[in-house]
Structure 1
Protein backbone atom coordinates (compact mmCIF):
# COMPACT_ATOMS: atom_id res chain seq x y z
CA UNK A 1 0.00 0.00 0.00
CA UNK A 2 1.14 3.50 -0.78
CA UNK A 3 2.61 5.31 2.26
CA UNK A 4 0.13 8.19 2.03
CA UNK A 5 -2.77 5.75 1.98
CA UNK A 6 -1.33 3.95 4.98
CA UNK A 7 -1.30 7.17 6.96
CA UNK A 8 -4.82 7.94 5.77
CA UNK A 9 -6.08 4.53 6.86
CA UNK A 10 -4.49 4.95 10.27
CA UNK A 11 -6.04 8.41 10.63
CA UNK A 12 -9.46 7.22 9.49
CA UNK A 13 -9.50 4.66 12.29
CA UNK A 14 -10.48 7.58 14.54
CA UNK A 15 -13.52 8.27 12.34
CA UNK A 16 -15.08 4.83 11.90
CA UNK A 17 -17.35 4.69 14.93
CA UNK A 18 -19.22 7.97 14.61
CA UNK A 19 -19.01 8.60 10.86
CA UNK A 20 -20.39 6.26 8.23
CA UNK A 21 -18.27 7.98 5.55
CA UNK A 22 -15.12 7.28 7.57
CA UNK A 23 -16.11 3.64 7.86
CA UNK A 24 -16.87 3.41 4.12
CA UNK A 25 -13.57 5.00 3.13
CA UNK A 26 -11.63 2.79 5.51
CA UNK A 27 -13.35 -0.26 4.02
CA UNK A 28 -12.34 0.87 0.51
CA UNK A 29 -8.74 1.20 1.65
CA UNK A 30 -8.75 -2.26 3.21
CA UNK A 31 -10.41 -4.00 0.26
CA UNK A 32 -8.91 -2.05 -2.62
CA UNK A 33 -5.51 -2.69 -4.12
CA UNK A 34 -4.61 0.94 -4.76
CA UNK A 35 -1.13 1.47 -6.11
CA UNK A 36 -1.26 5.22 -5.57
CA UNK A 37 -3.26 7.89 -3.84
CA UNK A 38 -4.43 9.03 -7.29
CA UNK A 39 -6.10 5.71 -8.06
CA UNK A 40 -7.72 5.78 -4.63
CA UNK A 41 -9.06 9.33 -5.00
CA UNK A 42 -10.54 8.48 -8.42
CA UNK A 43 -12.53 5.69 -6.74
CA UNK A 44 -14.19 8.01 -4.18
CA UNK A 45 -17.75 9.28 -4.51
CA UNK A 46 -18.66 12.92 -3.86
CA UNK A 47 -19.86 12.26 -0.29
CA UNK A 48 -16.54 10.61 0.58
CA UNK A 49 -14.58 13.45 -1.02
CA UNK A 50 -16.57 16.00 0.99
CA UNK A 51 -15.87 14.07 4.18
CA UNK A 52 -12.13 13.99 3.50
CA UNK A 53 -12.13 17.67 2.52
CA UNK A 54 -13.59 18.42 5.94
CA UNK A 55 -11.50 15.99 7.99
CA UNK A 56 -8.04 16.13 6.43
CA UNK A 57 -7.20 19.80 7.11
CA UNK A 58 -7.85 19.22 10.81
CA UNK A 59 -5.68 16.11 10.84
CA UNK A 60 -2.88 17.79 8.89
CA UNK A 61 -2.87 20.70 11.33
CA UNK A 62 -2.88 18.31 14.27
CA UNK A 63 0.11 16.44 12.82
CA UNK A 64 1.96 19.75 12.40
CA UNK A 65 1.16 20.75 15.99
CA UNK A 66 2.59 17.42 17.13
CA UNK A 67 5.65 18.10 14.94
CA UNK A 68 4.94 15.00 12.89
CA UNK A 69 5.96 16.50 9.56
CA UNK A 70 6.05 13.11 7.82
CA UNK A 71 2.38 12.41 8.68
CA UNK A 72 1.37 15.96 7.72
CA UNK A 73 3.16 15.60 4.38
CA UNK A 74 1.65 12.20 3.56
CA UNK A 75 -1.89 13.28 4.47
CA UNK A 76 -1.42 16.44 2.43
CA UNK A 77 -0.50 14.29 -0.60
CA UNK A 78 -4.00 12.82 -0.51
CA UNK A 79 -5.69 16.13 0.32
CA UNK A 80 -4.18 17.89 -2.70
CA UNK A 81 -5.63 15.28 -5.06
CA UNK A 82 -9.17 15.86 -3.86
CA UNK A 83 -9.45 19.12 -5.81
Structure 2
Protein backbone atom coordinates (compact mmCIF):
# COMPACT_ATOMS: atom_id res chain seq x y z
CA UNK A 1 0.00 0.00 0.00
CA UNK A 2 1.25 3.43 -0.85
CA UNK A 3 2.52 5.35 2.21
CA UNK A 4 -0.01 8.17 1.81
CA UNK A 5 -2.92 5.77 1.91
CA UNK A 6 -1.35 3.87 4.80
CA UNK A 7 -1.31 7.10 6.83
CA UNK A 8 -4.92 7.74 5.86
CA UNK A 9 -5.98 4.25 6.88
CA UNK A 10 -4.22 4.63 10.22
CA UNK A 11 -5.99 7.96 10.81
CA UNK A 12 -9.36 6.48 9.88
CA UNK A 13 -8.89 3.66 12.37
CA UNK A 14 -9.51 6.23 15.12
CA UNK A 15 -13.06 6.79 13.83
CA UNK A 16 -14.27 3.37 12.69
CA UNK A 17 -16.21 2.53 15.84
CA UNK A 18 -18.09 5.82 15.94
CA UNK A 19 -18.63 6.56 12.26
CA UNK A 20 -19.94 4.09 9.72
CA UNK A 21 -18.54 6.16 6.85
CA UNK A 22 -15.06 5.90 8.32
CA UNK A 23 -15.38 2.12 8.49
CA UNK A 24 -16.62 2.09 4.90
CA UNK A 25 -13.58 4.05 3.70
CA UNK A 26 -11.25 1.96 5.85
CA UNK A 27 -12.58 -1.23 4.28
CA UNK A 28 -12.03 0.19 0.79
CA UNK A 29 -8.40 0.76 1.67
CA UNK A 30 -8.07 -2.74 3.10
CA UNK A 31 -9.70 -4.56 0.20
CA UNK A 32 -8.14 -2.85 -2.78
CA UNK A 33 -4.59 -1.92 -3.61
CA UNK A 34 -4.67 1.56 -5.09
CA UNK A 35 -1.80 2.69 -7.30
CA UNK A 36 -2.18 6.31 -6.24
CA UNK A 37 -4.13 8.67 -4.02
CA UNK A 38 -5.91 9.92 -7.13
CA UNK A 39 -7.19 6.44 -7.94
CA UNK A 40 -8.49 6.13 -4.41
CA UNK A 41 -10.17 9.55 -4.32
CA UNK A 42 -11.91 8.92 -7.65
CA UNK A 43 -13.69 5.92 -6.10
CA UNK A 44 -15.09 7.87 -3.14
CA UNK A 45 -18.76 8.78 -3.04
CA UNK A 46 -20.13 12.16 -1.87
CA UNK A 47 -20.64 11.02 1.71
CA UNK A 48 -17.10 9.66 1.98
CA UNK A 49 -15.63 12.85 0.54
CA UNK A 50 -17.61 14.96 3.01
CA UNK A 51 -16.42 12.82 5.90
CA UNK A 52 -12.78 13.16 4.88
CA UNK A 53 -13.24 16.91 4.41
CA UNK A 54 -14.37 17.09 8.03
CA UNK A 55 -11.77 14.75 9.54
CA UNK A 56 -8.55 15.42 7.64
CA UNK A 57 -7.96 19.02 8.80
CA UNK A 58 -7.94 17.83 12.42
CA UNK A 59 -5.68 14.90 11.60
CA UNK A 60 -3.28 17.19 9.76
CA UNK A 61 -3.24 19.62 12.70
CA UNK A 62 -2.60 16.75 15.09
CA UNK A 63 0.35 15.63 12.96
CA UNK A 64 1.67 19.21 12.96
CA UNK A 65 1.43 19.36 16.75
CA UNK A 66 3.37 16.10 16.92
CA UNK A 67 5.91 17.53 14.44
CA UNK A 68 5.30 14.55 12.16
CA UNK A 69 5.84 16.51 8.97
CA UNK A 70 5.91 13.40 6.81
CA UNK A 71 2.39 12.55 7.93
CA UNK A 72 1.30 16.16 7.44
CA UNK A 73 2.49 16.11 3.85
CA UNK A 74 0.98 12.72 3.07
CA UNK A 75 -2.44 13.48 4.57
CA UNK A 76 -2.46 16.90 2.93
CA UNK A 77 -1.97 15.23 -0.47
CA UNK A 78 -5.24 13.33 -0.03
CA UNK A 79 -7.02 16.39 1.36
CA UNK A 80 -6.06 18.49 -1.68
CA UNK A 81 -7.35 15.82 -4.06
CA UNK A 82 -10.80 15.97 -2.51
CA UNK A 83 -11.43 19.36 -4.13
Please state how far the C-alpha of 1:69 moved relative to its aligned partner: 0.5
Please state how far the C-alpha of 1:2 moved relative to its aligned partner: 1.1
Which runs of 5 or more structure 2 residues have no equivalent in the other structure?
none
The secondary structure found in structure 2 opposite 1:16 is coil
Do residues 58 (structure 1) and 61 (structure 2) align? no
Distance across 2 between alignment mates of 1:49 and 1:82: 7
How far does the alpha carbon of each residue in 1:49-78 deviate from its partner, in whole angstroms, 9 at most, with x for none?
A: 000000000000010011110111100010
Aligned to 2:13: 13
Aligned to 1:39: 39
How far does the alpha carbon of each residue in 1:14-72 deviate from its partner, in whole angstroms, 9 at most, with x for none?
A: 01000001000000000012010000000000000000000000000010011110111
Distance across 2 between alignment mates of 1:49 and 1:75: 14
Q: Compute the TM-score of the two structures, normalised by the length of structure 2.
A: 0.98
Q: How many residues align?
A: 83
Segments ≥4 residues shifted beyond 4 Å: none
Q: Compute the TM-score of the two structures, normalised by the length of structure 1.
A: 0.98
Distance across 1 between alignment mates of 2:72 and 2:27: 22
